[in-house]
Amino acid sequence: MDKKTKEGVTASLGGRFTKLNGDYVKTSTNELGNVNFSTDSIPNEKGQLGFKVNTINKAGYYWASA
């Protein structure tokens, strides 16, 4: 999301599923700034699945993490 306009930004994204799955994912956001991706089936129905963003790339923008 653009800080000034509050509108979505098309960008490339890379990150890793965490906890029950460690797959690395590379994808892109759509014009609203939303992203969709999937992972392999997880055989264990109990537990947590998270996602950690490692990279967001878009010319003219920078990504900062606290």
Let me know: does 39 contact 52? Beta carbons within 8 Å: no
**Burial of 40: CB neighbours in 10 Å, binned 0-12, 13-18, 19+:** exposed
This prediction's pTM: 0.57
- In tens, the pLDDT along 11-54 reads 888 888 777 777 777 788 888 778 877 777 767 677 777 788 88
For residue 49, the model assigns a pLDDT of 74
Give the number of residues written for the chain.
Answer: 66
